[in-house]
A and B are shown apart, each in its own frame.
Chain A
Amino acid sequence: MQTNKTDVRSWLWVLALVCVLKAWPADAQELRWTTGQGYTTATALDTAVEMQINGLVARVAVRQEFQNDGNEWTEGIYVFPLPDRAAVDRMRLHIGDRYIEGEIREKEQAEREYEQAKREGRKASLVRQERANLFTTQVANVAPGELVVVEIEYLEDLRFEDGQFSIRLPMTLAPRYSNEDVDDSAAITPVQVMASRRHRITLEAHINAGMPLALVASRYHPVSVRENGGRYHVELAIPNTPMDHDFELIWRPVPSAEPRAMAFTETIDGEPYHLLMVMPPDQRDTALARVPREMLFVVDTSGSMHGVSMTQAKKAVRLAIESLRPGDLFNVIEFDSYTSALYPYSMPANSVNVGQAVSFVQALQADGGTEMRPALKLAFESPARDSHLRQIVFITDGSVGYEDEMFSMIERKLGNARLFTVGIGSAPNSLFMRKAAEAGRGSYTFISVLHEVNEKMSALFRKLENPQVTDIELAWPSGVQVDAYPSVVPDLYLGQPITVRTRALGGFRPGDALYVSGNSVAGAWRAGVPLDASASAKGVAALWARARIGELLDAERRGGDTSLLRADIVATALTHRLVSKYTSLVAVDKTPVRPAGEPLASERVPNLMPYGQGALMGFPATATSAPALRIMGAGWLLAALLLLVMIRTSRPRAQRY
């Protein structure tokens, strides 16, 4: 009897305790997205990348895995960046253990085929180009719980500069600033999220450099590197890395093996294509009367620069200002929605002005829009002095949607000035950096982490200070009709090679060579590259086509005949199976899989916010303790009630006296 009662009482105590404990909050739940009505987890996306590097040519395969975790049939839409010179020539839609090879079509035709398949419930995927470095993958009719893989491949010719090869893979993009002149802002500004358990990448690269290497390294990610008979295998040391900052792999030949010339060839339909690279003589430390310079620093202080980007930019400008020499002139122009300059016109780089400029730069704050035009206009139109060489250093993340307009403006207004771009941040717009520098007849560089500011800016200063190789001309063997890009070879800065992509109608004869000539400080310079000794490399033809399309698009931007140019671009792209402004890759399955009655939800897969960016402000606390107080209050009342019941049940003994 007694034990029974104690039992009941102890159970009541446990119950009371549970009541109180229940009042404490449960753990946070996982991230979820909404589509249409109700909750469904987002279409998840993971990426696997494999790079095959052979001499100057890289073939990169990007596997995008779309996982539909929701309970509806969905269409996934994913906007993603690729290198700005990527020649996308292959797309495969993997369904289970089979795959469908994508076909190249004119853009509108590809979209029609895709939309029809989507309506009819068949699986389909489409890869479209929004900008030279921004693409969209769409994949239709992904069943609830299903995993569909879209594999995209592209070719890229590698950058060899300052004695070092590099390949860069953008992983996400900074939100682009659009104004009323950008009519496709929706297509180039995907949803962005701060954090995600997906958006992971695995990456491996195989390097066959064709020369002994002194260094193989990754700039921004830890990697493991293995060597086997002169070939290197590189892998991300941390698998499933968040895709929130660009990947860059660099490799450097041993100094004695540094290439003076490289030649690769591929023959398609009897026509040989070549990819050629020639290094001009090293003019470093050439004794030369230094031309005094007028340096104009144009600094982007828009909101997208907030965070680590602004810190990097400030350090870079400060370093640049402090490296000015007596006799140089300089000014600092900053812009966001508005433009302002440190001085009304350029001032001598004396210690007082330099000190003033340093504190001006230190006080810069990143906020507002990205209106580049007034800032560049101010730089170009400020009164120039013939005695000084005007060099404009443009420091920005290039997060704008009106790139083409800027390239045209730079070309129009450049005159004798030179424009150099410094791409800042975890995910700069590489297309903007390269094309703006090309239009400005300067060079471009990227600074993605604070500790490389010194290295990258020093390399830029060497380019700014050292004389160029000018008046470069290419002499092709006589009797061969050659279609070469770039059609006009720009002046070269220290450490830059000449890279040419050609198609030779009729082909070269044994013994033929390309002769390159130019003017350097040391006098006229001439070098030859034998054409018949080229190494064979797949993809050279597609890279030639990509370069050709690039020049046709430039001609279009400069106001050329759009219909003629478009026809030319489409023909080139279709022949070489390339995605371009006017052509897309589409893959369509034959049999419908989505039942006729089932609706299809459409979901834009978000991109990760670039690392260190967008961290503009913290969140306020947005919950009160009222619900917790109510439940805890109820818990205490219940406990009181239980205690009362227990006292009453133990009463019989107490009543006896």
Chain B
Amino acid sequence: MRSVTRARYGAVAALLALGFWQLGQGAYIPAKAWLAQELMQHAWLRMTAGDDRAAPWPWADSWPVARLSAPAHDVELIVLSGGSGRTLAFAPGHLAASAPPGAAGNSIIAGHRDTHFAFLRDVAIGERVNLETPDGRKHAYEVIGTNVVDSRRGSLVLDTDGAFLTLVTCYPFDALDAGGPLRYVITARRL
């Protein structure tokens, strides 16, 4: 009888451990995303001072390429180079194959819907988005479209006339499945 009870309490303990561990993980991801942005401020300053490819921490394989701000949502984010999962955990990533930030063509920046790019949900057509490049230049963009795209069929267009900024995140915003096929795409045109 006692062993049965012990087994039951063991099960409770295991469930508790699993639950707390997952909750911890769930809290760690956004915490890391927030903390990384703070750490990168310094790397950004070094970039603006002319440092080439200033890594935010010694072992980082990515460097800040732009500062993205959305005044209407009180958002300011350092954008890292590259769109790999490792990069996106710390910051929105600029996809290397797209046009450099602020240049002619389509600059594409991707971010996680539940951390850095959660604010995209509230971005409306006509709003301003600013992009600051390490050379100190500020580029203002106007949001001209929001769109939901199926990534299984769709893809991102690189050949655009004029300078465009495309912000990509996952969709729907409150879905739980991290591997869903839909993407929320905001298109902004340089003013």
Nearest CB of chain A from residue B69's CB, rounded to whole Å: 19
Rounded to whole angstroms, the CA-CA distance of A616 and B125 in the bound complex is 25
16 CB < 8 A contacts A-B: A36-B124, A303-B157, A369-B104, A369-B105, A617-B97, A622-B113, A622-B168, A623-B179, A628-B176, A636-B18, A636-B22, A637-B20, A643-B12, A644-B12, A647-B12, A654-B1
Residues of B close to A622: CB separation below 8 A: 88, 110-113, 117, 168-170, 183
Interface centre among B89, B95, B148 (most CB of A within 10 A): B148
CB distance from A15 to the nearest CB of B (A): 14
B110 touches A189 (CB 8 A): no
Please encode chain A, from 19 to 58, with 1 for each CB lying within 8 Å of some chain B CB and 0 for all others: 0000111101101111111000000000000000000000
User: Chain B's nearest CB lies how many Å from the CB of A301?
Assistant: 11
Chain A interface category by residue count: 35 or more
C-beta contact mask, B178-191 vs A, less than 8 Å → 1, else 0? Answer: 11111100000000
Q: Which residues of B contact A623 (CB under 8 A)?
A: 112-114, 169-170, 175, 177-180
B176 and A631 form a contact (CB under 8 A): yes
Most chain B CB neighbours (cut-off 10 Å) among A24, A182, A195, A306: A195
**Contact A302 B159, beta carbon cutoff 8 Å:** yes
Query: Complex formed: what's the CA distance from A370 to B159 in Å?
Result: 9
Cα–Cα distance between A367 and B98 once the two chains are bound (Å): 10
User: Chain B interface: which of A109-117, A173-181, A533-541, A581-589?
Assistant: A173-181
Given A194-B149, A619-B154, A25-B175 contact (CB < 8 Å):
yes
Least CB distance from A189 to B in Å reads 7
Known interface pairs A189-B161, A622-B117, A633-B26; 11 further A-B residue pairs with C-beta atoms within 8 A, sorted by A's residue number:
A25-B175, A28-B177, A368-B105, A369-B161, A616-B157, A620-B93, A624-B89, A626-B27, A628-B176, A636-B22, A637-B19
B119 touches A (CB below 8 Å): no
**Interface flags, B82-112, vs A, CB<8A=1, else 0:** 0111001100010101100000110010111
CB-CB under 8 A from B89, the residues of chain A are: 624
CB neighbours (8 Å) of A614 from chain B are: 155, 157
Q: In the bound complex, what is the Cα–Cα distance between A640 and B18 (angstroms)?
A: 10
Bound complex: CA of A179 vs CA of B172, how far in Å?
36
Q: How many A-B residue pairs have CB under 8 A?
A: 220
Q: Are A640 and B176 in contact (CB under 8 A)?
A: no
- Contacts of A592-634 to chain B: CB distance below 8 A: 609, 614-634
In the assembled complex, which residues on chain A have CB atoms less than 8 Å from the CB atom of B108?
Answer: 617
Stretch in contact with the other chain, from B3-11, B42-50, B56-64, B131-139:
B3-11
A-side interface residues toward B, CB under 8 Å?
23-26, 28-29, 31-37, 175-179, 182, 185, 189, 191-195, 302-304, 306, 367-370, 401, 609, 614-640, 643-644, 647, 654, 657
The residue of chain B having its C-beta at the shortest distance from the C-beta of A185 within the complex is B161
Select from chain A the residue with minimum beta-carbon distance to B189. A186
> In whole angstroms, what is the CA distance A192 to B185 when docked?
12
Closest B residue by C-beta to A305: B159
A191 touches B104 (CB 8 A): no
Residues of B with C-beta under 8 A to A177: 159, 161
The complex places the Cα of A192 from the Cα of B29 at a distance, in Å, of 35
* A33 contacts B178, C-beta separation under 8 Å: no
Closest B residue by C-beta to A180: B162
Known contacts A33-B148, A179-B161, A621-B85: A28-B29 contact under CB 8 Å: no
The answer to whether A306 touches B159, judged by C-beta atoms less than 8 angstroms apart, is yes
Contact A627/B26 with A24-B176, A369-B105 known, Cβ cut-off 8 Å: yes
In the A-B complex, the 10 residue pairs with the closest CB atoms = A303-B159, A194-B154, A633-B22, A25-B177, A636-B19, A630-B26, A640-B15, A633-B23, A637-B19, A629-B26
Shortest C-beta distance, A91 to chain B (Å), equals 28
Q: Which of B5, B8, B177 has the most CB of A within 10 A?
A: B177
Take A617-B158, A624-B112 as given contacts and tell me if A191 and B183 are in contact as well, using a CB distance cutoff of 8 Å: no
Q: Which residues of A contact B13 (CB under 8 A)?
A: 640
Cβ distance B90 to chain A, nearest Cβ, rounded Å: 11
Output the least CB separation between A647 and chain B (Å).
Answer: 5
A492 smallest CB distance to B (angstroms)? 37
B189 to chain A, nearest CB (A): 10
Do B157 and A195 touch across chains, with their CB atoms under 8 A apart? no
Query: What is the CB-to-nearest-CB distance from A374 to chain B, in angstroms, rounded to a whole number?
Result: 16
Contact residues of B with A, CB < 8 Å? 1, 5, 8-9, 11-13, 15-16, 18-27, 29-30, 33, 83-85, 88-89, 93, 95, 97-98, 104-105, 108, 110-115, 117, 124-125, 145-151, 153-162, 168-170, 172, 174-183
CA distance A407 to B34 in the complex (A): 55
Cα distance A194–B151 in the bound complex, in angstroms: 9
> Of B83, B146, B172, which one neighbours A28 at CB under 8 angstroms?
B172
Task: For the complex formed, measure the closest distance between the CB of B140 and the CB atoms of chain A, giving whole angstroms.
Answer: 18
Give the shortest distance, in Å, between B159 (CB) and chain A (any CB): 2
Which one of B16, B115, B145, B180 lies within 8 Å of A626 (CB-CB)?
B115
Query: Which A residues touch B88, using CB under 8 A?
Result: 620-622
Known: A179-B161, A633-B22. A26 touches B30 (CB 8 A): no
Q: Contact between B176 and A634 (Cβ–Cβ < 8 Å)? A: no
State whether B159 touches A304 (Cβ < 8 A): yes
B99 CB, nearest partner CB in chain A, Å: 9
Taking a contact as CB atoms under 8 Å apart, the answer to whether B19 and A629 are in contact is no
List the A side residues contacting B156 at CB < 8 Å. 616-617, 619
A618: B residues at CB distance < 8 A: 151, 155
Whether the Cβ atoms of A37 and B161 lie closer than 8 Å is: no
Distance between Cα atoms of A355 and B24 in the complex (Å)? 62
User: Is A619 within 8 A of B183, CB to CB?
Assistant: yes
- How far, in whole Å, are A631 and B25 apart by their CA atoms in the complex? 11
**Nearest residue in A to B9 (C-beta to C-beta)?**
A647
When the two chains form their complex, are residues A637 and B160 in contact, meaning their CB atoms are under 8 A apart? no
Q: Which residue of A lies closest to B185 (CB)?
A: A619
Given A616-B158, A620-B88, A622-B111; A31-B23 close (CB under 8 Å): no
In the bound assembly, the distance between CA atoms of A192 and B147 in angstroms comes to 10
A620-B159 in contact (CB<8A): no
Chain A residues with CB below 8 A from B20, complex form: 633, 637
Cβ contact of A26, chosen from B104, B117, B158, B176, cutoff 8 A: B176
Of all chain A residues, the one with the shortest Cβ separation from B92 is: A622
Other-chain residue from A192, A620, A631, A637 in contact with B16 (beta carbon distance below 8 A): A637
Residues of A within 8 A of B168 (CB): 619-620, 622
B179 to chain A, nearest CB (A): 7
> Of A35, A609, A625, A635, which is in contact with the most chain B CB atoms at under 10 Å from its CB?
A625
Contact present for A32 and B105 (CB under 8 Å): no
Docked Cα-Cα span, A351 to B189, in Å, equals 49
Most-contacted residue by chain A among B21, B23, B97, B146 (CB, 10 A): B23
Known contacts A194-B154, A367-B158; A620/B26 CB under 8 A: no
Nearest Cβ in chain B — how far from A254, in angstroms? 43
**A20 CB to nearest B CB, Å:** 10
Tell me how far the C-beta of B13 lies from the nearest C-beta in chain A, rounded to whole angstroms: 8
Given contact pairs A31-B148, A194-B155, A635 touches B175 in the complex (Cβ within 8 A): no
Measured between alpha carbons, how far is A178 from B104 in the docked complex, in Å?
A: 12
Q: Is the CB of A178 within 8 A of B178?
A: no
- Given A620-B168, A622-B113, A624-B114, answer yes or no on A25-B176 (Cβ-Cβ < 8 Å): yes
> Least Cβ distance of A631 to chain B in Å?
6
- Whole-angstrom CA separation of A62 from B161 in the bound complex: 30
